[in-house]
Structure 1
């Protein structure tokens, strides 16, 4: 299994998915703007996404992949497939019950999720209806995560990484109907797009599993030894992932009390921030976990440390400039992507302010994706849980201090602060346990990456804050202006990073060779 090849596969497909996600959000923003229907739909979209990140892509994969990889490495493919069949039987039943309970209890769930909606009956009732439509997505995406974990553990990354593309295509298809529907029916259309997207994703990974010769068998659910071990490890992992997701729910809960549009401003800002996080952080984390699991199972601590160091180097050389650029040019990015139709200039200003705050935490978000697999691969989700609790407390404290004066921007700043607290503690614990020893290459290059990023940020700031004197940044001109900024940032960072020694052409050639091998 090759980290470079896996990263390029996952990041490329994730990038394609994120581009389609932006197309989807552009359609949403133009038709729904930041009004009450948009807020109701975003609540309906966040709830299944909360459980997706908690159960499917969060705790479940971080527990299942090491167990599956261990069984594959130590007992062979037949035993690993048997474990997957046993887990599938229990998972499907548990999730079916969960969906049924939530469908019945949805008014109380929405009240807990967005209590600020209760005083607006029209918005509250629509949020309940839309969430009932979207919630079955959690059953579908959890099964996708199970089959995707099997594929990733055997070095097959493409299908699972491509699955979100189908979700976005489904949502784009639904979004195209928005313009011929009234607001309420448009909200229902895109909600059905979520569930239909889940069906398409499941069909894709099932096809890939069948082609790989690992098609699951349907068994009666039983608490076998493998399932019990997974459950023992799942509980602390779920609590750890749950703490991170509770941070997001607290953000939503507080934002529901702010002015109409606050939820939408945060959503669109976070969508932009998620692009580098998904393309870099999630891609590397997805490739790193099965690799570390197999290296540690084989007692190859030297190889595991090398993999971790190269992963940190890879994500930082890409994420530091992305974070700095988003902080400097947040407004033109938001304006070009979303400012049309029902999404007005005032919405661009509000979303850009939130984007600057989110971007300040972007390197930390990505580092968490790279550092946490070292704990999961060693079957130690409990430490991740404890650290996540500290991050949760810091998020609440900072939010309470800032939200009353900064509004939705205070929420974004609190999220960024919590991410830094989480990432720093994860790193310190790994170093103290001798599970991560930064090699000389990483120590030498990381400060150079920071210096190159500073040069790029200074160049962007110099152009951005003098543009009003010579460039009419409005209408079509702002799109051209953004292209100039992106080109300037890319060239400035590439040249300065190369000159300062933050990266080398030999690294790129080596990555290409390993990928082609």
Structure 2
């Protein structure tokens, strides 16, 4: 399977999850708006989500995948299974302890870490504590999900691991449908949403454990032991905690500062949800596929293939990210209006959310490019360099947020997050260049130039159509507005892809190959998980 096909496999599954996520966020907006319960829920959800990104998807997978791939390539499936059992036992014991400690100390953590600005509203503070306690065991489930996903990705089975997050959205949508259907009050809606998050975590864990067993990796819990391999994993995880979770740390910093402005946390979350669509589809696809592929190439000593992988990943990321960033910056208002504006989500809320989305979008290419360049360090087991770059980015974000918040409110926080992302990316790219671990090929540079030109042309089309169809974009009828927005997006996309295909900025053969249906397996042969 080509690299683009692998990206398409993960991206397709993630797209479905993100689309369902939009439905979820629209329902939350309708049920809670940007009021105190929305602030409380998002503040509570951010905390277990932060730890999930730090210790699971970020730090854990960055360290685990290269080591698991090494065991799989060098010692075979049995050696990889034993290593996985050792890690599973230690990880489960640690997570149980961390979850218990966090739930006990949650009143203190909420007041001083999660949302110190809620101290003046005891009811909001208490609800945040309660919802965080309900959702925190989600961390246990998702950390184990990250491990199982890493195993499947290392075996080049990408689809199911990318698909299971849809279960989180399904659980929350089910809770919201019950809430809206029974006219439930905001407090009970928040609690029901929290239980929906927890249930979805166990559902995702069950699905992936079944998939791993299907591949012959039936693991059992054993007495936790710090074996040499586990110690090596923990040593590598330390620096990767900051590296893998820097975006989440920045968002948490923003949340802490924003908690002093009524509704700011909810506004940032609504905007970030739209911004996360291309980041999730493209960034996750690149990160999930590139790390195990690079690890295999470097283990085999094929440095030319490693360079090729990074060049193609860079082209793919920019080809889809740049036009998305331009669209979000220039067309934020109509997009937010169509997705959210209903029920408790007012036109004023739309305007405030759109401003935050435009600020987030300025950093969108940087977020995705970090996913392209970080695996080059992780695959070489260099966790410390990205760690220091992440620390610099966090400092930049804190300073920027504190400086911009008094004048620009929640928009200043979004802008500071984008600035920090660009700083992080530049540091990663410069060091890789100086080490000689990455050199963009002349063909890659040529393609990037045409991608930029095509994005500029697309932006001009968006601005022109927005002005020409202004009466339809702002029509009182939701159907008219939605149709107009879709027409503008469609025409802009046609212009963009016509240019990149005509100039060769995207490989036509690989594009067609990624769109073709894969052949079905022969009769009697089990279908691979990607299918």
Normalising by structure 1, we get a TM-score of 0.97
Structure 2 counterpart of 1:4: 4
Question: Residue 313 of structure 1: which of 294, 312, 315 is its match?
Answer: 315
1:73 Cα deviation (Å)? 0.9
Q: Deviations over 1:80-108 (max 9, x none)?
A: 11000000000000000000001110001
Contact 1:284 1:311 survives alignment (8 Å)? yes
Q: Does 1:261 align with 2:263?
A: yes
Q: Deviations over 1:271-306 (max 9, x none)?
A: 000000011111111011100011111111110110
Question: Residue 303 of structure 2: which of 292, 296, 301 is its match?
Answer: 301
1:427 Cα deviation (Å)? 0.9
Structure 2 counterpart of 1:152: 153
1:510 Cα deviation (Å)? 4.7
Structure 1 counterpart of 2:288: 286
Structure 2 counterpart of 1:85: 85
Structure 1 counterpart of 2:33: 33
How far apart in 2 are the matches of 1:325 and 1:474?
Answer: 23
Structure 1 counterpart of 2:138: 137
Q: Deviations over 1:201-235 (max 9, x none)?
A: 00100110111111112211001111011011111
Structure 2 counterpart of 1:493: 496
Contact 2:171 2:200 survives alignment (8 Å)? yes
How far apart in 1 are the matches of 2:400 and 2:442?
Answer: 36
Question: Residue 194 of structure 2: which of 185, 191, 196 is its match?
Answer: 191
Q: Can you give the 5+ residue segments of structure 2 that lack an aligned partner in the other structure?
A: 521-531
Deviates more, 1:175-184 or 1:186-195: 175-184
Contact 2:341 2:347 survives alignment (8 Å)? yes
Distance 1:440 1:184, change over 3 A: same
How far apart in 1 are the matches of 2:137 and 2:493?
Answer: 42
Q: Secondary structure at the match of 2:339?
A: helix
How far apart in 2 are the matches of 1:2 and 1:297?
Answer: 19
Distance 1:349 1:38, change over 3 A: same
Structure 2 counterpart of 1:245: 248
Distance 1:514 1:447, change over 3 A: farther
Q: Does 1:432 align with 2:437?
A: no
Q: Does 1:483 align with 2:483?
A: no
Structure 1 counterpart of 2:524: none
- Residues 277-426 of structure 1: matches in 2 within 5 Å? 277-426=279-428
Alignment root-mean-square deviation, CA = 1.5
Q: Can you give the 5+ residue segments of structure 1 that lack an aligned partner in the other structure?
A: none
How far apart in 2 are the matches of 1:105 and 1:135?
Answer: 12
- Residues 18-29 of structure 1: matches in 2 within 5 Å? 18-29=18-29
Contact 1:361 1:419 survives alignment (8 Å)? yes
Q: Secondary structure at the match of 1:177?
A: helix
Q: Deviations over 1:411-445 (max 9, x none)?
A: 00000111111111111111111111111110111
1:175 Cα deviation (Å)? 1.1
Q: Does 1:214 align with 2:213?
A: no
1:76 Cα deviation (Å)? 1.1
Structure 2 counterpart of 1:166: 167
Question: How many residues are paired up?
Answer: 516
Contact 1:166 1:197 survives alignment (8 Å)? yes
Q: Does 1:202 align with 2:205?
A: yes
Contact 1:452 1:500 survives alignment (8 Å)? no
How far apart in 2 are the matches of 1:471 and 1:374?
Answer: 44
Structure 2 counterpart of 1:275: 277
Structure 2 counterpart of 1:507: 510
Contact 1:4 1:514 survives alignment (8 Å)? no
